[in-house]
Homo-oligomer: A and B are copies of this chain.
Amino acid sequence: MYEDRIRRPALMNKLMSAEQATLLFKDGMTVGMSGFTRAGDAKALPAALVERARSTPLHLTLLTGASLGNDSDGLMANAGVVARRMPFQADAALRRKINSGEVMFIDQHLSETAEQLRSGDLKAVDIAVIEAVAITADGGIIPTMSVGNTANFVQQAAKVIVEINLSAPLALEGFHDIYVPGARPHREAIPLLTPLQRIGTAAIAVPPERIAAIVITDSPDSPSNALPPDDETDAIARHVITFLEGEVRAGRMDASLRPLQAGIGTIANAVLHGLIDSPFHNMTMYSEVLQDSAIELLDSGQLKMASASSITLSAAMHEKFIRNIERYRERIVLRPQEISNHPEIVRRLGIIALNTALEFDIYGNVNSTHVGGTHMMNGIGGSGDFARNGQLSIFVSKSVAKDGAISSVVPFAAHVDHTEHDVDVLVSEWGLADLRGLAPRERAPLIIEHCAHPDYRPQLRAYFEAAKLGGGQTPHVLEQALSWHARYQREGSMLVK
């Protein structure tokens, strides 16, 4: 049994149930789990840890690649298993615990967690829990639909628990390229010069004696929860495409553009989807996650190849992907997230970064994470890795939320994740503001007139005019700067009646 999945016979005696494997955990431990944007997460151990916590106190520091599927984050948070969490999450129940102060959440650039573990700036991982397609004859672990921080957790953990997921086809072998940078200060350059290049190994090396348990599961990834395109996301896509056509016309790039990155979620997915009707071809992606739109673009032939750390698809697209998996293997590379998001590579390749903003202010500062300036949504994810270092940093947002009660364009971002220095282009369904080479006082009219909802433009103009009376590089009326957010809290709308 399982000879194709556990190819090193001596490891067969590590087979056990998830319940047995939970006995390896102790209160206070730091645990690194595979999983990135609902893809490649361990399925059995989270549920078993929740069960075990009913009888035994278990408060863990949980690190992952990014968000988990299967409601694992919420179930573990509600059971008290997750006391500290990094570097990203996207679960409603966990979010409540974070915002109530019960769970400490450390929101990190996705390229940095591995670096901080390696340098000892974060506490070392005690146990790694890793979903795998198979274990090779020499003990290597073949990941499933994501790589995330898995290689780093495995390097560091005293004990490694492998979940072999029978629902992940053996044909996934060969998608992954595992390369882990050396310790500083004597590190080599990362030898990756083109998006499809392979610089590492197909499996994650691990000394077999550190594999403490092997658990068999047969449970699929949670499907993507991105919403389908709508009129507004279509309009945003059109503005982005028109802008990129202009870049090609101006000779700043050819029709293959630059390697594309697109953040997780509905709007970025819709913009990529819109590229199907664009004149661009021979494109490449160098991103952290591939959503349905990436597969569509591969199928249409406009996208030549795609590199990422994870593949997160709808149920229908996942089925199609698996059915035609042979044809994708030569065109998709899955990498550790510190490589998919690495500043060195992002800068070298000149990525076009496309990320979603919760809100942005009239000077171009972006809030990606905090609803109302205080409450965590998901986390910064990789947006900073790409926005800071790419050739073009584009942020997209619908101009309003909550049926118009919230303007995404505000006088002052109530939380800043991306500063004015790292934002080149802002886009809403109303239009696009190209901020390159402009001073804050020049950006404000563009952002107000091109991106804000018309209902909010008079208020924004009035703010900007009043602010200029006080002078400054970035004029503000400090007493009113956050008044829009306060008004929403108080009256249920940012709009002045």
**Does B120 contact A250, Cβ atoms closer than 8 Å?**
yes
Are A116's CB and B436's CB within 8 A? yes
- Residues 432-464 of A, flagged 1 when their CB comes within 8 A of B and 0 if not, give 000011110110000000000000000000000
A324 CB-CB contact with B under 8 Å: no
Q: Which of B193, B389, B417, B438 contacts A421 (CB 8 A)?
A: B417
Interface positions, chain A 175-202, Cβ under 8 Å from B, are 184-191, 193
In the complex the two chains form, is A119's CB within 8 Å of B391's CB?
yes
- In the assembled complex, the CB of A367 is this many whole angstroms from the nearest CB of chain B, namely 10
Q: A343-B347, A343-B389, A421-B109 are in contact. Are A101 and B468 (CB under 8 A)?
A: yes
Interface size classification for chain A: 35 or more
How far does the Cβ of A447 sit from chain B's closest Cβ, in whole Å? 16
Contact B121 A475 (CB under 8 A): no
Task: Decide yes or no whether A315 CB sits under 8 A from chain B.
Answer: no
Q: State the main secondary structure of chain A at its contact with B.
A: loop
A317 at the interface (CB under 8 A from B): no
Q: Which residues of B contact A106 (CB under 8 A)?
A: 437-439
Whole-angstrom distance between the Cβ of A305 and the nearest chain B Cβ: 13
Say whether A259 faces chain B, with CB atoms less than 8 Å apart: yes
Contacts A388-B388, A481-B482, A486-B479; A416 near B365 (Cβ below 8 A): yes
Q: Is A350 among interface residues, defined by CB-CB distance under 8 A?
A: yes
Closest to A346 in B: B343
Residue of B nearest to A424 (CB): B121
Residues in A149-207 with C-beta less than 8 Å from chain B: 184-191, 193
- Since A123-B437, A184-B349, A384-B388 are in contact, a sample of 10 more A-B pairs with Cβ atoms closer than 8 Å, ordered by chain A residue number, is A105-B473, A106-B437, A116-B437, A121-B437, A122-B436, A184-B350, A189-B344, A343-B344, A370-B474, A418-B419
**Interface, chain A (partner B; CB < 8 A):** 84, 86, 98-101, 104-109, 112, 115-116, 119-123, 184-191, 193, 250-252, 258-259, 342-344, 347-350, 365, 369-370, 372-376, 380, 384, 388-389, 391-392, 414-421, 424, 436-439, 441-442, 467-468, 470-476, 478-479, 481-483, 485-486, 489
Q: List 5 A-B contacts (CB under 8 A).
A: A104-B439, A121-B391, A418-B419, A478-B486, A482-B482
